[in-house]
Chain A
Amino acid sequence: MFYIVCALYCEANIFIEKLNLKKDIHYKNYQVFKRENFVVIITGCGIISAAASISSYFSLNPPKENDILINVGVCGCSIKTGKIGDMFLCGKITDITTNKSYYPDILYVNSFEEKEIITFPTICKDLKDGVLADMESSGIYQSAILFFDTHQIIFVKIVSDNLNNIPVKQPEVKLLIKKNYDKIMQLAENASNCVLEIKKFDLTNDELNMYNLICGILKFTVSMKYKFKNLLYYYKLKGNNILTLLLEIENKIKDTEIKSKTEGKKYLEYISKKII
């Protein structure tokens, strides 16, 4: 799943349109649009709104380990730092109120320039050169890290103002994001491909059912179950068919009545000798 988090509708608009997302009316306090593998969450402005919406959504829909969350939003910066429409990736987020910094991993290949972003509780009018300013990033990070790993969270910011008090109009924001849409989606695709590559080797449901059945017949304790599973897992990793082995074991024990832990242990030793 690919989650795009924006503070405002105008920031999310282009994703909703291009990805043909539909509004999910179950969410009242923030907006959610989704289709297939894409979800857009519109949190509202400010650190607390952003953090609360994310917490609420992911408590109800816990993400998986190969999901990616990308925060796309506008930001301000000095004229020396960037011009309107410039896009940056953020590897350092500092909360001005607490002076604490947060660092999402920047692992995936991208064509973005990088800058630190400082999150302010109110509109920022004065900012040193070289950094960006917004009102949500630190809230998004602090909340998202409760559900995602550091490599699953990406912050992309597009300059919408140079701190000159000229309010940016919503259609302009939409255009700024639209201009960078392809680059954002390319980064998202790279990130998704990386996390999708993480394949977990495991026992199949059939193998697990058979394993549970045998554990039951042989009255294995928790630690014996762990050892048995480890043996099966290793046997499978070596390229063997464990279902055949499990069937063989089941055949051997199906009429057995285990009366003590020692008897179960003997069977476990027998299985262990067969495997190692």
Chain B
Amino acid sequence: MSIYQKKLYNPPFSHIYCEKEIYDTKKAQQIIKKFKNSRIILIEHYKDIFCRKRQNSFIQKNSQNLIIAKNKGCLIYKGAPVCQDFGNSDFYYTTTAINCIYDCEYCFLQGMYPSSNIVLFTNFYDYKENILKMLKKNSIYLCVSFDTDLLAIENLFGSCREWIEFAKEEKNLKIEIRTKSTNFNLISDITPCTNVILAWTLSPDNLRQAYEHKTPCIDKRIENIKKAIKSGWKVRICLDPLIYTDKYKTYYTELIENIFKHISADKINDISIGAFRMSAEYLKKIRRNRTDSLIINYPFETTNGIYHYNTEIEKELTSFVYYKIIKYIDKDKIFVWKENV
């Protein structure tokens, strides 16, 4: 985006929409206080603004606003088939926030939601209650940074802290907090806990610059991983999505060398790899708006409603990365999406 264009749009969070019902709550007020210059608009229900007809979420991304709400709908979902379950049968995901401050061209959220405004659900107690009920029956593996990047918005929301504190009390609950941020410092004062996995997604820096707009650079993310490991946290590295380009071999070789140059392999909890894939419905919607995106307009193949690289490329890309990684780390620590290797 040009500087000129930036100046034409309001700054991020110039408007905060807050449900009347929770406006006076401590959590809502904590968030609102962080935005002294924003205009507050009271709403009945978050969907009144988030699910309006005829929104253009791509334009809204130039001036994202905040919606503070109470989630009265479904709080915990069964893990989606396109997601890596890391061998956990009781795989669920949840979302205390919707949408993200970053702007990755390949992000499925653009296809999933009608708006790119960020929704923050402040009723953490309801999430807790739901999970406690579920924990009575079985243990749970829960991805809590799913429809968002929770650590990226920790300074305004504080949800990672809430999840970690909760997980500390519930040993049968294992959580994953996935991020591209460099905000480890915001939770570094918390004593590490064995049932919390901090997961960083890494891509070759050339691909980050091309496709992962507004995200921190890879070296800074690696720095954050090092700090987290040093503090005693379990860390997962996600090379997912793997992106195919003419130079993918050079790009991924450099990335993997860079990772293991700075991070000792035996300190990494596990690594996940998976070639780009997306629901056809979402990808078609994104294509209508990201008409100039190389990754989104790649001629993918479809199988059962999922767009993916053709089997040959998918296998070549995944195998290349896999065999590079096993030079450094035990095979048991590598999780590959789909049986490609």
Contact = CB atoms under 8 A, between A and B. Distances in A.
Given A109-B7, A148-B54, A276 B41 contact: no
A195 B5 CA distance: 10
Interface in A228-242: 230-231, 233-234, 237-238
Interface in A185-225: 190, 193-195, 197-202
Contact of A103 (B4, B48, B294, B298): B48
A216 to B, nearest CB: 21
B54 A150 contact: yes
Contacts of B43: 101, 103
A227 B249 CA distance: 27
Contacts of A102: 52
Contacts of A24: none
B67 to A, nearest CB: 11
Contacts of A231: 299
A149 B9 contact: no
Given A116-B41, A194-B9, A150 B297 contact: no
A92 B60 contact: no
B49 interface: yes
B54 A149 contact: yes
Give the residue among A150, A194, A198, A234 with the most B Cβ atoms within 10 A: A150
Interface in B266-320: 291-294, 297-299, 310, 313
Contacts of A234: 294, 297-299
A202 B54 CA distance: 22
B341 interface: no
Given A91-B41, A231-B299, A237-B294, A105 B55 contact: yes
Contacts of A195: 59
Contacts of B84: none
Given A92-B41, A230-B297, A151 B60 contact: yes
Contact of B291 (A193, A201, A238): A201
A20 interface: no
Contact of B63 (A101, A107, A202): A107
A91 B294 contact: no
A91 B39 contact: yes
A276 B299 contact: yes
Q: Would you call the interface of chain A mostly helix, strand, loop, or mixed?
A: mixed
Interface residues of A, number: 38
Contacts of B5: 193-194, 197
A145 interface: yes
Nearest to B287: A230
B330 interface: no
A150 B48 contact: no
Give the residue among A107, A110, A201 with the most B Cβ atoms within 10 A: A107
B10 interface: yes
Nearest to B62: A107
Interface string B32-61: 000000010101100011001111101110
Interface string A79-117: 000000000000110000000011101111110001010
A194 B15 contact: no
B37 to A, nearest CB: 12
A152 to B, nearest CB: 9
B55 A150 contact: yes
A194 B41 contact: no
B74 interface: no
A169 B241 CA distance: 65
Given A101-B43, A150-B55, A109 B292 contact: no
Nearest to A227: B299
A194 B48 contact: no
A186 to B, nearest CB: 11
Give the residue among B53, B58, B63 with the most A Cβ atoms within 10 A: B63
Given A103-B52, A108-B9, A272-B299, 18 more contacts: A101-B43, A101-B48, A103-B43, A107-B63, A109-B9, A145-B53, A149-B56, A150-B56, A151-B59, A194-B9, A195-B59, A197-B5, A199-B292, A200-B291, A201-B292, A227-B299, A230-B297, A234-B294
Interface of A: 91-92, 101-103, 105-110, 114, 116, 145, 148-151, 190, 193-195, 197-202, 227, 230-231, 233-234, 237-238, 272, 275-276
6 contacts: A105-B55, A106-B15, A108-B9, A149-B56, A193-B8, A234-B298
